[in-house]
Amino acid sequence: MGIKYHLVFFFFTVVSVSVYCQVNEYGPGYQLTLIGNPGLTGTEGTGYLRLSYLNLYPGNNYNLHTVNVSYDGYFPGLHGGAGIYITNNSLSGIVNDLSGGFSYAYHFQAGSNLFVSAGLSASIFHRGYSFSGAVLPDQIDPVRGAVLPPGEILDLKGRSVLDLSTGFLLMSGRFFGGISVSHLTEPDPDGSGNNQSRIRRHLLLHAAGDFDLNENTELKIRPLIKLELEREYLSAGTGAVLESKYLSVSSIFLMNNMKDLDLQAGFAVASGIVTIFYNYRINISSGNTVLPLSLLHHTGMVLSLNNVEKRKAIRTINFPRL
């Protein structure tokens, strides 16, 4: 196979143990919206532009970053919501995953107080490689370190594949919940044909509520839960967001079947058409000694670009600021 293929296999095998969430996942928050569940597309009514940045395992020089940009809104002529999104994942400066796609959700009323949104998204997933900063075993001198020229030049070409996701959202009274399945086609971005290199289907279940704490409804609490499943990996979380007109704070506990218990806390500040948010996640206890204390920083902003009147037939919702 050659040293380059062994190196790539080793890289993904080792890194995937500690960087499981580097592939874009919906997670416990609602700032990725249609990227995690296409059924959420346009359900807030107003068109929103969302920009976010995520840094995994900060302070450990792992160089793991994710950037997300999306826009979605409700369009009466389409009888539902439509949106576009771009995500870029950088893994240690060696592997770069770039994805861009389109999402559509059809909104309809299924009962006197039951509203449903059914969505589908299609994207192009491109994986590229850059080994300019990589050090191969045959470059290492026992005395002087990594100083020798490589015996083999790594030149893996990038590959683009089609990726599909689907999702549903149900809204009734003070509650809403959804289910989505990402990576329906289980794309193989490496083109190796090996099952281990495929992006596996990802199941997400999520729900949230909306309860007023005072008469003028300016202060409310938003409890939420989520469940994620990808092959043998299972993750669950529960928490709440305390919201006022301009400021909200959130906290959520996350646990998985690898015996990890994490805490994520954050805040969001809203002023006019701009909302700025920040989340920080730490590991409380771990099933192994690999995970560091700090797991991620997630920050970004949300811009409301245009106003759409709330429909009488189809209900709109405001997502928790998490």
Q: Does the residue 316 lie in any domain?
A: no
* Cβ contact 117:39 at 8 Å: yes
Domain count, the chain: 1
DSSP string, 98-130: EEEEEEEEEEEEEETTEEEEEEEEEEEEEEEE-
Can you give the pTM of this predicted structure? 0.81
Q: Does the residue 173 lie in any domain?
A: yes
Q: Does the residue 319 lie in any domain?
A: no
Task: Provide the domain limits for residue 298.
Answer: 3-306
Sign of CA dihedral 116, 322, 85, 89: negative
Q: Does the residue 315 lie in any domain?
A: no
The distance of Cα 239 from the centroid of its chain, to the nearest Å, equals 18
Cβ neighbours of 133 (radius 10 Å): 9
- Per residue in 80-92, pLDDT (tens digit) is 999 999 999 988 7
Q: Does the residue 127 lie in any domain?
A: yes
- Per residue in 141-190, pLDDT (tens digit) is 554 454 445 545 555 677 899 999 999 999 998 999 999 999 999 998 88
Q: Does the residue 65 lie in any domain?
A: yes
Q: Which of 132, 84, 74 is nearest to 106 (CA)?
A: 74
Give me the long-range contacts of 13-17 (CB less than 8 A, separation at least 24).
Answer: 13/196, 15/91, 15/92, 17/290
Q: Does the residue 66 lie in any domain?
A: yes
Q: Which residue has the tokens 């590229």?
A: 128
Q: Does the residue 139 lie in any domain?
A: yes
Task: Write the CB contacts of 5 (distance below 8 Å, at least 6 apart in sequence).
Answer: none
User: For residue 169, which amino acid is it?
Assistant: L
The domain spanning residue 233 has which CATH number? 2.40.160.40
- Per residue in 185-232, pLDDT (tens digit) is 999 888 777 777 788 999 999 999 999 888 776 899 999 999 999 988
